[in-house]
Amino acid sequence: MNFLQARRNPSLRIGAAIVALVLLCAVFAPLLAPRDPYLQNLDNILQPPNAAHLLGTDLYGRDVLSRLIYGTRSSLAVAMLASTIAVLSGLLIGLIAGFSGGIVDRILMRIVDVLLGFPRLFILLLALGFGYPSIWFIVIVLALFSWMEIARIVRGQVRVVREMLYVKAAQALGLSNAKIVRKYILPNVIGPVIVAAAMLIASMLIVESSLSFLGLGIQPPEASWGTILNQGRQYPVAAWWLSTFAGIMIVVTVLGFHLLGDGLRNYLDPKTRGQQAEK
């Protein structure tokens, strides 16, 4: 996984740069977008990229570039909110499972196994196909089926750290569990969790856009990369700019989060850092 040279860490830099750019794009969307993303102009529909509309116009004559820039907001918001909820619940469940051990641990890990085994898109299709696809509903459903990996990582780390002598000593000294978690456990788990979170955001972006593509994610007229793609799907050649540019936005963003995750893994993991230094 470490396609990096010793000490230099290009994937971390490139990944961080892409993610920062996309985030800026989302925050400053109103300043960056050349036009109103919701303004329809029926005299000007499905225009290929030109000087007035750099990335063309869509079915209702709306400016695609502006919609893509605004779409950054909803796509990122859904992916990041869902990831945050998933990470926090994974962290909590992992801590509980790792700390309590025994029957609680076994039940929780069994649930993790079951949920990990289920095809996520399939389950989401079921849930969203029947529910109300508001942004919050999508976020909750995405999070509900995504916390397992984090829980597994945290639980594994907790079980290792718990056996360390310094933790045993802290327990013997009478430190409360909450304090032990805060002072000794969390610093040990936070690295792998951050890496997993970056990867999670990447996979959320893909899943969310797949759902929107199937018509089940974020609903029009709200601009999101998936909905723009869904619109372009009906005209893959005649209006190639719709699906092409929206797809590029998704790929670049997902790539950014993957690179960031890979880079962070190498940066945070002293083991691979050592390996690289040896070479």
Q: Which residues bind other proteins (CB under 8 A)?
A: 1-5, 114, 117-122, 125-127, 129-132, 202, 206, 209-210, 213-214, 229, 232-233, 236-237, 240, 243-244, 247, 250-251, 254-255, 258-259, 279
Instruction: Give backbone dihedrals phi and psi of 78, rounded to 5 degrees, phi first.
Output: -60, -50
Q: How far apart are CA 103 and CA 80, in angstroms?
A: 33
Closer by beta carbon to other proteins, 67 or else 180: 67
Residue 3 or 178: the one with the smaller Cβ distance to other proteins is 3
- Nearest distance, CB of residue 160 and other proteins, angstroms: 19
Round to whole Å and give the CA distance between 99 and 97. 6
Rg over alpha carbons for the chain, rounded to the nearest Å, is 22
Strands (E), 136-278: none
User: Least separation, in Å, of the C-beta of 164 and other proteins?
Assistant: 25
Burial of 76 by CB count in 10 Å (0-12 exposed, 13-18 middle, 19+ buried)?
buried
Structure tokens at 35: 């036009």
Q: Which of 132, 271, 263 is closest to 202 using CA atoms?
A: 263
Which residues are CB-contacts of 156 (< 8 A; sequence separation ≥ 6)?
98
CA distance 178 to 217: 39
- The residue among 65 and 229 lying less far from other proteins, judged by its C-beta, is 229
Q: Whose Cβ is closer to other proteins: residue 70's or residue 213's?
A: 213
- Minimal distance in Å, beta carbon 207 to other proteins? 8
SS3 209: helix
> How far apart, in whole angstroms, are the C-alpha atoms of residue 216 and residue 209?
10
Largest separation between any pair of C-alpha atoms in the chain: 77
Q: Shortest gap between Cβ of 171 and other proteins (angstroms)?
A: 29
62 close to 37: Cβ distance less than 8 angstroms:
yes
Minimum distance of other proteins from residue 149's CB (angstroms): 11
4: which 2 tokens?
A: 């990096």
Nearer to other proteins, 37 or 232 (CB): 232
Q: Which is nearer to other proteins, 174 or 274 (CB)?
A: 274
CB of 202 or CB of 218, closer to other proteins: 202
